[in-house]
Amino acid sequence: MFAKRIVVVTIITLLVLSSLWARGLTSLALSTGNDAISLGLGNNQDDGKSFSVRTQTWWDESLGIGAEVSSHTDQKVSKHRYDTLDLFAIYRLSIPFESGWSVTLAPSLGTTLIGSFGLEDAQTLLHSFKKKKPVILPVSTSELAIHPGFGLTASLHRRLGLSDYALSVVTDHRLGWESEIDLALYYEGGKTVSLSGGFHYTKGWSGFPTQYMQEERYNGFYLSSTYDGSLLFTAYRYYLHSGFSYGYIGFDPLAFSRPKTFRSSDLTTIHGLFYESDFNPLRLTAIGKGPLFFEIFYSSGPIADDYRHNIARYSLNYQQVIVANSRYLRPIIELGAGFKRYNVVKAFDTTVVEEIRPAVTIGIGVDLGPKDMWLIANTAYGVRLGLYLTHILGVDTLPATIEAYSRHTKATVLLFGISLVIDHDLSAP
C-alpha cells in the first residue's frame, strides 16, 4: 500500500509543480506505453515491459522533469514480475556551429524505485475489459528498493532545410540496479516524424532473473520512430533479434495554448480505431502527402492457451476526395494494394505461423465538419468515418493451426471505424 501511494503522490506532485511553475513551460507530455503498439511487427508476446504511464514537462525546452511507472513481467522463465518508478530531471544544452552543425548535451539525474506499485491490479482490470486472461505472478521483491543514478545524452546534428540528421549516444546508470548505453542514427523531418536505427545494451545488477530476462528481450539492434502532432504524439521501438516491441501514445494539453501557425498541409497523418464485422479491433496508422498514403492496420492478442496472434496489413493507397468544397461532409474514395502478415506464436516465442499474402483494398470515407476543423499550433485536426473492404489472395494455403485462428484468416475482410486526420505545416514552428 505504501508503494502504491508513492506512485500517486509522485505523479500528482509533478503535475502540481508544473502548474505552479507555468512560466516558461513549453510542453506537458502525458502518455501511456504498451507492447500492443507494435505496428504489426515482431511477436508482441504481451510480456516483458507490459505497459506504463509516463509524464514529462519541459521549461524553455531546456529543463525537463518526469516520471514513469512501468510493469515488468516474465511469464516464460522466472514467472515473476516487478514494477518500476523512474524519476528523472534533464538539462539540455545545444551548441550551434556554422553550416547547420550543432552539438546537444543533456546530463540527467534520476532515481529508480523497485517494488510492487499496484500495476498487477491495473493490468488485471485492463485485461478484463478485453476479455483476456489476467497475468498473476509473484513479485521479485516485496520490499521497496531505491536506486539513484545519472545519465548523459550527447548528439551531433546536421540540419539541412527542414531535415535534421543526428548521431546520438545515450548512457544511463542506476546504482545497484542497471546500466545502459544506446548508440543511434536519426533522421527527423520538419520536427514531426523521425526514423532511427541503433544498438541498445543493458546490464542488470539486481540478481532478479526477471530483470535478466528483460535484458535479453530489449538488447541489441533496433528500429524506432517518433511522431509529434502538436497535440497527439507517438513513439515506437522494435528489437530485431527478439521480436519484442514497445510503443507510446500520448497528448500535450499545452498545445491548445500555442499560436495557431498552420497555413497549408505539407504532410498528412491518420490515426484510427477500426473493427472487423465480428468486432475484432484493429489500429490504423497512415502517413502520406497529397493523394498517396502508406497505411498500416494491425492487431494482436491471445487466441487460445499459450497461443498469440499478430495480424498486419501494409498497403500503398491512393485517396481521392469526391466533393472537396462541401462544408460539412466531404466523401472520399480510396484504392490500395499491398500485403498482409499472419503470425502465430506459442509459449511466447515459438513461431507456429509466419506468412505473407498479397492484398487489395477499396475504402470509402467521409470527413465530418469544416475543413481544418481544429487548428492546433502547426497542425489541423479533422474527423473521418471510414469503411474498408479488403481481399487477401491465397489465404486457403495458410498452414492449418488452432481453430480459434480461423476468424483471422478470412479471404474478404470488412472494416469500419473512426480516425483523426491531421494535416501538418512543416515550415511553421
d(CA 181, CA 190): 27
Across residues 114-124, what is the average pLDDT? 79
User: Residue 20 contacts by C-beta under 8 Å, 6 or more apart in sequence?
Assistant: none
Q: What pLDDT sits at residue 18?
A: 53
Q: At residue 15, does pLDDT exceed 70?
A: no
User: Residue 245 contacts by C-beta under 8 Å, 6 or more apart in sequence?
Assistant: 35, 37, 38, 39, 41, 42, 44, 236, 237, 238, 239
C-alpha cell at 184: 543511434
- pLDDT tens figures, 352-404: 899 999 999 999 999 998 877 899 999 999 999 999 999 999 999 998 777 77
Q: Which residues of 145-181 are buried (b: 16+ CB within 10 A; e: fewer)?
A: eebebebebebebeeeeeebebebebebbbeebbbbe
Decide: helix, strand or coil at residue 277: coil
How far separated are the first and last CA of the chain, in Å rounded? 45
C-alpha cell at 362: 477499396
Decide: helix, strand or coil at residue 122: helix
Q: What pLDDT sits at residue 124?
A: 67
d(CA 98, CA 86): 37
Strand pairing partners for 334? Answer: 319, 363
- pLDDT tens figures, 296-335: 999 988 887 788 888 999 999 999 988 777 778 899 999 9
Mean pLDDT taken over the chain = 88
Question: What burial class does residue 129 get, using C-beta atoms within 10 Å of its C-beta: 0-12 exposed, 13-18 middle, 19+ buried?
Answer: exposed
pTM reported for the whole predicted model:
0.89
509543480: which residue's cell?
A: 17
Q: What pLDDT sits at residue 295?
A: 97
**Given phi > 0 = left and psi -120 to 50 = alpha, else beta, which region is 384?**
beta
Q: What pLDDT sits at residue 19?
A: 53
Across residues 86-93, what is the average pLDDT? 95
Q: Evaluate whether 274 touches 281 at the Cβ level (below 8 Å).
A: yes
- pLDDT tens figures, 250-300: 999 999 989 999 999 999 999 999 999 888 899 999 999 999 999 999 998
Lowest mean pLDDT among 5-19, 96-110, 154-168: 5-19
Q: Evaluate whether 86 touches 55 at the Cβ level (below 8 Å).
A: no
Q: Residue 16 belongs to what H/E stretch?
A: helix 2-20
Give all domains of the chain, ordered by start, each with its CATH number: 2-257 (2.40.128.140), 267-424 (2.40.160.20)
544506446: which residue's cell?
A: 182
Query: Residue 131 — very low, low, confident or very high, per pLDDT cuts 50/70/90?
Result: low
